[in-house]
Structure 1
């Protein structure tokens, strides 16, 4: 059996989300697009994250979405090759309109930072020491 996995996240404004991830340099997925959905490819293996308009995703899930102001749904990790690359990510995220809630620093054998996109979805950028 061949299995493929991807993520589906809810967003308030599909166009704003599209602009944010485009500014960060992520590649648009050539898959399905609409006013209800934008999609990007992450990493060397092109992990797909679909960003659905919140109401559309709630309908498909038959339930409520996580309140990202109260907690986390998931945190995606992105690898970096150098500490300078981590620092560059922090600058790019701020310029694109994201929130760097954990500034670049050394911790637990890594160097990294963490950010939230405009809807509160969390990512960290990590360079293993």
Structure 2
């Protein structure tokens, strides 16, 4: 049996989301664009994250969505090969309209930074030392 896993996240503005992740260099998932969602591929194994309009995801989940200003739902980690790559990510994220809430630094045997997209979804970029 082949099992695939993907993530579904809510966003307020699909166009803004598309613009942000496109500026970061992520590829759109073929055939996954509609008035209700946009979708991107992450990493070498093409992990899929679907970004649904908040109201549509809330309706499908039959529950409220997390208030990202008060806590985390999840943090996605993206690997980097060099410290310079981590630093470049931080600049690209800021230029694309994201918020780098933890600037590049060394910690616990890693070098990394962390950011939120325009809707508050959290990601970190990590290079293992």
Normalising by the residue count of structure 1, what TM-score does the alignment of the two structures yield? 0.99
TM-superposed deviation, 1:53 = 0.2
SS at 1:87 equivalent:
helix
1:107 matches 2:107: yes
Which residue of 2 is the match for residue 92 of structure 1? 92
Q: Secondary structure at the match of 1:93?
A: helix
Deviation at 1:123, TM superposition (A): 0.1
Distance 1:31 1:72 in 2: 29
Q: Report the CA distance between 1:32 and its aligned residue.
A: 2.3
Per-residue deviation at 1:86?
Answer: 0.1
- Counterparts in 2 of 1:8-19, with a 5 A limit? 8-19=8-19
Q: What SS is found at the alignment partner of 2:112?
A: strand
Unaligned runs of 5+ in 1: none
Cα-Cα RMSD: 0.5
Partner SS state of residue 66, structure 1: coil
State the distance in 1 between where 2:14 and 2:74 align: 20
* 4+ residue runs over 6 A deviation: none
1:51-90 to 2 correspondences below 5 Å? 51-90=51-90
Aligned-residue offset at 1:88: 0.1
**TM-score with structure 2 setting the length:** 0.99
Shift of 1:31: 3.0
Q: Secondary structure at the match of 1:67?
A: coil
How many residues are paired up?
A: 129
Consecutive unaligned residues in structure 2, runs of 5 or more: none
Q: How far does residue 11 in structure 1 lie from its aligned partner after superposition?
A: 0.1
Task: Write out aligned runs for 1:2-13 (5 A).
Answer: 2-13=2-13
CA distance in 2, matches of 1:106, 1:33: 38
Structure 2 SS opposite 1:18: helix
